[in-house]
Chain A
Amino acid sequence: DAKTTQPNSMESNEEEPVHLPCNHSTISGTDYIHWYRQLPSQGPEYVIHGLTSNVNNRMASLAIAEDRKSSTLILHRATLRDAAVYYCILSSLVNAGNNRKLIWGLGTSLAVNP
């Protein structure tokens, strides 16, 4: 299974942009890149996903390197509520079918300073 590597922790100031990096050098051509986050004492929640092109949604932006071996999650203006563990995940095909599963890393714990 392809793996992802992320910094253990990062720190940001409120209302400043945050760039969370992820390396996935063994990604396969059919793997999608997903990001989830986990707030304290809660289950993870979906943030964003992409394949090759950069993606934007109301929560964040995802920048994917041209060779797809790395990606960056961008929070444009961090708030205190963004303090969480952010997981960079590969969505990989299971067996020979169309089903996929998420291969989780250990995540980056983001602290946001007021």
Chain B
Amino acid sequence: DAGVIQSPRHEVTEMGQEVTLRCKPISGHDYLFWYRQTMMRGLELLIYFNNNVPIDDSGMPEDRFSAKMPNASFSTLKIQPSEPRDSAVYFCASSGWTGPGSEQFFGPGTRLTVL
């Protein structure tokens, strides 16, 4: 398996523009997670899905952020409109379950810069 795939790897955009980040989880994994990483706040869970259904979106910062999982092999995280404070590395991860000892497999991340 190729692992978790994220695209694009780098994104530079201007404030006010819409940004869409994409993720393909490992085949057979029922759980998908979106994280944001910054120097100040570290790694923050934004939202996660189980069988394409959002389970916990309490980490989504505000209405400008939205995430979808239309099928088991694809998810998007959208920011509209983007702001400079959204600049961060966004990671997608997947796992087969979330019980004790479950291992999350992370993608390489998307580095977002909002000017």
Contacts and interface: CB of A to CB of B under 8 A. Distances in A.
Contacts of B71: none
B103 interface: yes
A43 B93 contact: yes
B56 interface: yes
B91 A100 contact: no
A102 B35 CA distance: 11
Interface of B: 4, 42-45, 48, 50, 55-56, 91, 93, 98-104, 106-109
18 contacts: A32-B101, A43-B91, A44-B104, A49-B100, A94-B55, A94-B98, A98-B98, A98-B99, A99-B56, A99-B98, A101-B45, A101-B48, A102-B45, A102-B104, A103-B45, A104-B42, A104-B43, A104-B44
Contacts, number: 55
Nearest to A46: B103
Contact of A43 (B45, B48, B99, B106): B106
A44 B108 CA distance: 9
B43 A87 contact: yes
Contact of A100 (B4, B42, B99): B99
Given A87-B43, A104-B43, A105-B42, A42 B102 contact: no
A42 B99 CA distance: 24
Contacts of B55: 94, 99
Interface in A11-52: 32, 36, 42-46, 49, 51
Which 10 pairs from chain A and chain B are nearest by CB?
A: A43-B106, A46-B103, A106-B42, A104-B43, A100-B98, A32-B100, A99-B98, A94-B56, A49-B101, A43-B91
A53 to B, nearest CB: 13
Contacts of A101: 45, 48, 56, 98
